[in-house]
Amino acid sequence: MIFAIERRTDMDNRPKQSDREIAFRKYFEIVTREQTTILILMIVAGIVFALVGLSLLSSPDGTAMAWFCIVTGSGIAAVGGIRLSSIEIRYRSALAETQPQPSDSQVDEWFQDSRQRLVLHAKNRLNLFGADSDFFKPLIIEVPTLSATYGVPTEDLKWRKGSDDTLRFAIHQLIIIYLTERHLAAFTCDFNFIRDVSLNETTREYHYQDIVSVATYEYSQAFTLPTGEKLSTSQTFRLSVGSGEYIEVKLENEQLRKMTQQEEISAIGAEQAVTTIRAMLRDRKALAA
């Protein structure tokens, strides 16, 4: 027997941003300077041109050319200097707007707090109201994403490499699985850590005898990145039941590596979930034999 409920929540129906959300946005806001190489070369060229003009002043026949070089060179250097100063002012202003930023450890603490509350929320949504000792510790599969997600504004698809060289993402796809004595209960959602809200929630319950497979596997599919580059493979976690229904999440390691230019990005908990559920299914089959 299979039960499935899906709910979409409206994340924009909120009174105002909390202090934590404001801090999260500052953390994920990366400010970079505009390229200034051309302007620096422009200033240097202007100065050199002006110096050439000064050297020509000693020649009686080169006065006109000297002043032309001095005025032109000074003008070029001044324009470059003004533009360079403008870039620096804009950069410092943008940088000031992102301050103060929370530390990596503070962000991790907020992440952990949100996860714990989400686990409790999942348990309530799955109507698992017994004592904690009645259930196995929930299995959590957490997959960072930068893909377009229903209900998530594009500006919230953020990531950052912290000062500890750890990648952190604002949006995650989560599957929370409870293994009870009688069935497997699963809660899935897209979680926006910036706004501290879950979206696209789904709850499912499967009796163990209905589960036919649980695995991670790779398959070919044409992903198109914002850069226009296409990928041909993707790793996926899937739990399937006899009716043809399934729970699935794309781990998307290769896609995220391409978008972030980082070598190691992995989903959390997928392999452990596969191992634990397979062990549970073997035990159930042994008891039924």
Provide the β-strand partners of residue 217.
Answer: 236
Domain span holding position 84:
37-97
The pTM assigned to this predicted structure is 0.70
Window from 15-24, 39-48, 56-65, 237-246 with minimum mean pLDDT:
56-65
* pLDDT tier, 93 (very low <50, low <70, confident <90, very high otherwise): confident
Average pLDDT over residues 95-111: 85
Of 217, 207, 226, 231, the C-alpha closest to 285 is 207
CA distances (Å), 228 to each of 101, 259, 261, 265, in order?
A: 33, 11, 15, 21
pLDDT for 109 beyond 60: yes
- What does the pLDDT read at residue 201? 92
Question: Quick check: is 278 in a domain?
Answer: yes
Question: Quick check: is 230 in a domain?
Answer: yes
Contact 46, 75 (CB under 8 A): yes
- Same domain? For 74 and 186 the reply is no
d(CA 255, CA 192): 20
pLDDT for 10 beyond 70: no
pLDDT for 219 beyond 60: yes
- Same domain? For 65 and 113 the reply is no
Question: Quick check: is 28 in a domain?
Answer: no
- Same domain? For 54 and 170 the reply is no
- Same domain? For 47 and 170 the reply is no
- Same domain? For 142 and 41 the reply is no
- Same domain? For 73 and 107 the reply is no
- What does the pLDDT read at residue 55? 80
- Same domain? For 85 and 121 the reply is no
- Same domain? For 66 and 201 the reply is no
Question: Quick check: is 22 in a domain?
Answer: no
Residue 28 CB partners (closer than 8 Å, separation 6+): 158, 159, 160, 170, 194
What's the farthest any 2 CA atoms get from each other in the chain? Answer: 111
**Over the chain, what is the mean pLDDT?**
78
Tell me the one-letter amino acid at 41: L
Provide the β-strand partners of residue 216.
Answer: 237
- Same domain? For 281 and 265 the reply is yes
- Number of domain units in the chain: 2
Average pLDDT over residues 273-286: 79
Question: Quick check: is 21 in a domain?
Answer: no
- Same domain? For 168 and 203 the reply is yes
- Same domain? For 89 and 107 the reply is no
Note the pLDDT tens digit of each residue in 142-154: 888 888 888 888 8
